[in-house]
Amino acid sequence: MINTLHAFDYSLSKNDFLNQFKFLRKEIKDSKVFESIKKSKLDLYIYGFGNMANQITYKLQNNNISYKGFIVDKEFDSVKKEGVFYWEDFDKTSKINIIMGFANYKNKIEYVKNLMFVNDFFIISCPYDHHNNISKQNILNNISKYKYIYDSLYDNLSKISYIAYLKARSTKDNAYVCKVASEATSEFINDIFKAEQNLVMVDVGAYDGSGILRYIEEVKKYKHIYGIEAETNNFRMLRKTIKYHNLENIDLFNVGVWSSNTKIKFNLSDNKCCRFDNNSINEIEVKKLDDLLLHCRVDLISIGISSGLFEILSGAEKLILNNNPDLIIFAGASSDDFYDLIKFLLKCNPNYRFFMRFQSPFVSRLFLYVIDGRTS
């Protein structure tokens, strides 16, 4: 349900919207960042030790750049092992370089700058190759579609966030996002959305179950959860997570979801993140959500994958028409432009309201919230 309604008076004319992108600075090239790293003779460390840090290692290896290890803050002592360091481990008289390896780095920049032994730090705004950038020319050529999406957003911060997202995606400069996004927030409870208790939730792209655990931590009580994960290794971890935490009333499906029941190309590469990909040699079975959850009640659908959003929800048309669920959609990495998606959802439910929020100050951490205005 909607937690807080915001007045929406931040409206731009088509020309004013167009002017937001006409004079954007040129795209920041990752090659320039890597050239600067190579020029330095100092040891390089990756700040972070999660999925994004892993992606940074691929980038560095592909550019023949070596790194000494990873740095984590002390609260992440569970990942401390060989090759992983605390800031306190360093000789304060030496000098090192840092490359950021986690999304919520905004509030850490000043801290890192003030460390006397840090010579320089580097940021790759788009470490994931499959998180497609949106060219300035694409925006200008399709300005009516982008303006429609903008106009469909319900409140001021959503509109501002969307413009920041487009600017960051077209320039590879995450500074646009840092100007509008605050520190990390929960995707399930924030200023515009609060997941209620005793709901039926569908998690599409459930990965290893971490999203389900976050959801349960926030709502405490749930009626039922359906976890859907297409990739076999991820599904194995998902099943272990549910079993380890002794969670009940959760059904898991090792299948993809799509607009039809068929087989489609799917990328399984470690450095690409599992996603639909027509260029892949691998195929997976996919089903319509309408068939997979036939006759099921659904209150909330969370989608955490980076491609195929329109196709996934097209296959859930009956579920949406019958249940009018709220939706939380991981949108920052999507190659979809949301135009067809929003039009489709409004056709299903004209009372849907659309919001955008950054879950952390990083371009790929944008979420699209689709909320039934009648329940607010």
Its pTM stands at 0.86
**Which among 39, 34, 46, 45 is positioned nearest to 96, based on CA atoms?**
45
Q: Do residues 370 and 329 touch, judged by C-beta distance below 8 A?
A: yes
**Which among 255, 149, 263, 268 is positioned nearest to 202, based on CA atoms?**
255
- CA dihedral in degrees (316, 322, 323, 324; nearest 10)? 80
Q: Which DSSP helix (H) or strand (E) runs through 71? A: strand 69-71
Q: Residue 268: pLDDT above 80?
A: no
pLDDT per residue over 27-79, tens digit each?
Answer: 777 888 899 999 998 999 999 988 888 889 989 999 999 999 999 988 876 66
Q: What is the 3-state secondary structure (H, E, C) of 160-199?
A: HHHHHHHHHHHHCCCHHHHHHCCCCCCCCECCCEECCCCC
Q: Do residues 304 and 211 touch, judged by C-beta distance below 8 A?
A: yes
Q: How many CB atoms lie within 10 A of CB 284?
A: 19
Q: Residue 82: pLDDT above 50?
A: yes
pLDDT given for residue 281 in this prediction = 66
300 strand-pairing partners = 201, 326
pLDDT per residue over 162-201, tens digit each?
Answer: 999 999 988 888 889 988 987 778 999 999 999 999 999 9
Boundaries of CATH 3.40.50.150 in the chain? Answer: 1-28+133-376
pLDDT given for residue 280 in this prediction = 65
- Top CATH class of 1-28+133-376 equals alpha beta
Write the CB contacts of 321 (distance below 8 Å, at least 6 apart in sequence): 348, 349
pLDDT given for residue 78 in this prediction = 66
- 30-122 CATH pick, 3.30.980, 3.40.50, 2.60.40, 3.30.870: 3.40.50
Which of 281 and 13 is assigned the larger pLDDT? 13
CA 334, 338, 341, 346 dihedral sign is positive
Lowest mean pLDDT segment, chosen from 12-16, 327-331, 332-336, 357-361: 332-336
Which segments within the chain are labelled E, that is strand?
43-47, 69-71, 84-85, 96-100, 118-122, 200-204, 224-228, 250-253, 256-257, 262-267, 275-276, 283-287, 300-303, 326-330, 352-358, 366-372
- CA dihedral in degrees (355, 357, 359, 360; nearest 10)? 170
Which of 280 and 329 is assigned the larger pLDDT? 329
pLDDT given for residue 271 in this prediction = 45
Which residue in the block uniquely carries the two structure tokens 């004079």?
23
- Most distant CA atoms of the chain, gap in Å: 66
Strands 262-267 and 275-276: antiparallel
Write the CB contacts of 369 (distance below 8 Å, at least 6 apart in sequence): 192, 193, 326, 327, 328, 329, 354, 355, 356, 357
How much is the average pLDDT of 137-146? Answer: 93
Q: How far apart are CA 84 and CA 55, in angstroms?
A: 16
